[in-house]
Amino acid sequence: MRQRPFASSARFARVLLPMLVLLACLEPMSGLGQPARVKSYELDVSFRPDSASLRGRATVDLDRSGSPDDEIIFYLHGELDVLAVHCGEGEGTSLPFEQEKVYYRSDYSLVATHVIVDAPGEDLTRLLIEYAGPFNPSRARSPSDYMRIAGDGVYLRSYGYSLWFPVFLEARADEYDVSFSRVTIRTPLDLVPVFVGERVKERIEGDERVSTWVAKDVPIFSAQMTARPFTLQEDDGYFIYSLPDSASREKAGAILVFTRRITSLALARYRAAAAPGQVHVMQMPRYGDISSYNVVGISGSVWSEFDPATALVDPRGWQSGWATRTLAHELIHLFVQVPTPLADPLWALAVEGFPAYFHLPLLAEIAGEEWYEGYMVDVQQGYLDKRDSGTDRRGRRLPAEKPLLELTPGDLSRYKDRFVLADRALLFFDHLRRRMGKAAFVGFTRDLFNRPSLDAASFREVVLEHLPGAEADLRIWLESAEYPERLRIAE
């Protein structure tokens, strides 16, 4: 079944809304078998901002031991179409396939192209997939879903956001690490591409810029793709991509120095195994504050306001130092993320609660404990005000408070950066730091973040190993919405 790509964002919007109701009914069809597991990708993708489109070739090595013997299932963004599927090393043998549009919650448009390839026998483990189509803006989910290909650049993420290469996962499944043995990105000359992993080389071919990347064992969620008219500053494995104006280039130097300092502290205090060969920081458009393995994006407003020399002076007041905290927060993701099952009660706290807090002890080492103490008092007051009023600082209605271990993946967008994960989680970890003491807390964080995996049970075990006798307090913090006076920060 061949589907014509949507020709424009207007048409996409007109088609999308009525389709969602219909496609929701088709969602069970996307589970006609468990997708194969990817061992490695090789991608060659040409991005065409003038037509808001891409054309790609993906060579995929698969482990089919857990998938049906007679078919291979994968997904692409709903505006993309598969042009051909070949087996083996070359293009000599074409495989029959079917494709249809289905409701898919792990794409920013809520629509994916569901592809079933007729591939009998487990011996067929290498596919060459050719595909093409546009990426238009969508308002189907959150305003922070900024994904698109447009005249000013390419702004795509990966599984969970925008499927710009074939993804062999059902919606909202547990992700896993994959290797990108070679990624070739082709853009117009004025756009500098950023993938993830290691930037190997870049060359000019006619009117194209060709960039080559390699990424070994990275979470598939992290395979973002950005291309803008960047100016690059590089220093010993640190790559800072700013827009070409003088003010943006000037900020890039300060961001480089700060990035070095935060990452060196994070390696010493948190997940040592996370040490990447390169670190990439990009100046992004609005809503572009992201962390994707060793690539960090910060929005233009954060970039322009960044000033570590003065930003941390005033600990009181939520606007003070927000740009510095935002960059530190995005940088810290890599060092505090431990694989946690999606269905486990700890998942939301691990994915957003950990990085919401653990840049703060590092900033305390830079700015001093007085700054940290004042900031945490402000966090506490903000939390108490929200509990009393049911609204945030801008007067917007908040969701009902839920215990930290009752937050589900579906709750994440409503609570992160707003409530519970943005305040109670911080107060909980601050409580552990105060009870353990700063030196013992470092031992706790090294133990916690260097584990191969984590769930609610093992998290409790680690806490109690470093803070014996804290069972009752843990139950209050994690399983209730209580905030008794004895757990509060004394002002």
Q: 13 pLDDT exceeds 90?
A: no
Q: 67 pLDDT exceeds 50?
A: yes
Q: 313 pLDDT exceeds 90?
A: no
- For Cα atoms 147, 149, 154, give the angle at the middle one, nearest 5 degrees: 80
Lowest mean per-residue pLDDT among 6-20, 133-147, 269-283 = 6-20
Give 310's pLDDT tier (boundaries 50, 70, 90). Answer: low
Mind listing the pLDDT tens digit for each residue in 369-382? Answer: 998 999 999 999 99
With a pLDDT cut of 70, the percent of the chain lying above it is 88
Query: Which two three-digit tokens encode residue 180?
Result: 């990108």
How big is the chain by its Cα radius of gyration, in Å?
Answer: 23
Mind listing the pLDDT tens digit for each residue in 383-429? Answer: 999 999 999 988 999 999 999 999 999 899 899 989 999 999 999 99
For residues 332-357, average pLDDT: 96
What is the DSSP pairing of strand 238-242 with strand 279-284? Answer: parallel
For residues 254-268, average pLDDT: 94
The helix (run of H) or strand (run of E) holding residue 313 is none
- Quote the pLDDT of residue 33: 56
Q: 4 pLDDT exceeds 50?
A: no
Question: From the CB of residue 207, how many other CB atoms can be counted at a distance below 10 Å?
Answer: 7
Following DSSP, what letter does each residue of 14-39 receive, concatenated?
Answer: HHHHHHHHHHHHHGGGGGSSPPPEEE
Q: 160 pLDDT exceeds 70?
A: yes
With a pLDDT cut of 90, the percent of the chain lying above it is 79
Give 437's pLDDT tier (boundaries 50, 70, 90). Answer: very high
Check: CB of residue 196 under 8 Å from CB of residue 281.
Answer: no
Q: Which residues, 6+ apart, have CB-to-CB distance to 236 below 8 Å? A: none
